[in-house]
Amino acid sequence: MKRKDTMIDYLGAFYSQKHTEETLQKGIDSLLGSHEKLNIHLFPVYIESIYFSNLKSNHPQFKLISENSGIFLFEFSFQIREFEQKKSISGRLFIVKNKEYDNIYTVLTLENSLFFSRGLYPYFIKHFPRVILTFITHKKLKNLLVDFRDRNNFKDMTIIRTTTYSRLGKKITPMVSWPELSLEKAFEWAEDENGWFQNLLFKIKKPQGPKVEISISRKGVIKANGYCQLLHEYFIAPVSKVVYENIKFFSRRARLDNPNRDINPLCIDFGYEKFAEVEENKKFIESFKTMKAASVSVMHGNPYIHLSLFDYFDGSSFDIWVLSSDKIVIVPQLKASFQSIKRLMNHIFDNYAEGDIKNFEVV
């Protein structure tokens, strides 16, 4: 965004520096500390190698401004329609290459919410499966937040607001107001309601520090007005690891990836008798009705489940079985990309239930 206030001078100077990861985070914290209305948006993301090369070279919307030891400064431009008129918007962002994990990056921008929510974020979402954000399970999100609170002694960390979805497909809100619910109680409530937090906004205040508001989404998107370094350490780094590990775990599962065309199934283990009642079969099958760009055929629905799923994003396909009351087995067929497996898992976790993703051992 082109701004003509004093902040633009600070930002201009900040952008022109050659940053390391440390100076970048420290610099952002310093800017956030000095400018009350400034926010950082950041999220970890997988970007396909060729696709990232395209961003760096001839891309109509991305222009590479500078690069220093894996920290890329880009200008991103897009158009929005306001009052039936097209409006061009551009702004800056950093894409930071992860030092440990191939093809994993952190996207950061100090531009305003309009730039982020109408331009940058939709761009990345739209380019699935070449660009993939993660999904943080309910359990993982809770653990990350509890760890962040306890290890930094943020005793007064309070939830301000959440966007919570029930797996029955509607938004839900608790009976009591948010500040009265501890982090643990809030997660317990969502679980009891068979729901998950799409977004969670909380505030923290250290005795000697400023009041900071942070929001974190299930897709790993963080918005905050402080603590960039801490957010990187407690959220971005572990979530980047999850993104990388998931990609590794979901990769090379297709039969065509295997020289002898063997199957390489995986399962969602609930650890309890989730499918003890026949009613559950119906709920599970129903949960696929909302899946976009897919064909879901019921090969058998009761008492056992056998579904055949075609993913119209890239032509991947899967057989999905429920043959024991505690798990769902997913058998990738001839073609099955890791992006498609991730999308399938994401759909089941959002619309049916969460469990532990494991290898299914074929005996």
Question: Half-sphere exposure of 278 toward its Cβ, with a 13 Å CA cutoff?
Answer: 4
Site string for other proteins, 258-277 (x = CB under 8 A): ---xxx-x-------x-xx-
164: tokens are 């919570």
Q: Give the contacts of 362 (CB within 8 A, at least 6 positions apart).
A: 263, 265
Closer residue to other proteins, CB minimum distance, 15 or 360: 360
Conformation bin of residue 169: beta by default, left when phi > 0, alpha when psi is -120 to 50: left
- State whether residue 289 is helix, strand or coil: coil
Closer residue to other proteins, CB minimum distance, 218 or 343: 343
CB of 247 to other proteins, least distance (A): 20
- Among positions 299-328, residues that touch other proteins (CB under 8 A) are 299-300, 303-304, 306, 308, 310, 312-315, 317, 319, 321, 323-325
Contacting residue, 3, 278, 282, 356, with other proteins by CB under 8 A: 278
CB of 230 to other proteins, least distance (A): 39
> Cβ distance 262 to 354 under 8 Å?
no
Q: What is the DSSP string of 159-176?
A: EEEEEEEETTSSEE--SS
- Interatomic CA distance for residues 193 and 106, integer angstroms: 33
112 burial class (0-12, 13-18, 19+ CB within 10 angstroms)? middle
Note whether 285 binds other proteins by CB under 8 A. no
| Count helices and strands in the chain by DSSP H and E runs | 11, 17
Note whether 8 binds other proteins by CB under 8 A. no
Contacting residue, 331, 341, 344, 357, with other proteins by CB under 8 A: 331
Site string for other proteins, 103-142 (x = CB under 8 A): ----------------------------------------
CB of 250 to other proteins, least distance (A): 18
CB of 217 to other proteins, least distance (A): 25
Query: How many amino acids of this chain bind other proteins (CB under 8 A)?
Result: 38
Closer residue to other proteins, CB minimum distance, 120 or 254: 254
Q: What is the DSSP string of 172-198?
A: E--SS-GGGS-HHHHHHHHHHTTEEEE
Closer residue to other proteins, CB minimum distance, 103 or 308: 308
- Interatomic CA distance for residues 212 and 206, integer angstroms: 9
Give the binding site for other proteins (CB under 8 A).
Answer: 255, 261-263, 265, 273, 275-276, 278, 293, 295-300, 303-304, 306, 308, 310, 312-315, 317, 319, 321, 323-325, 329, 331, 333-335, 362-363
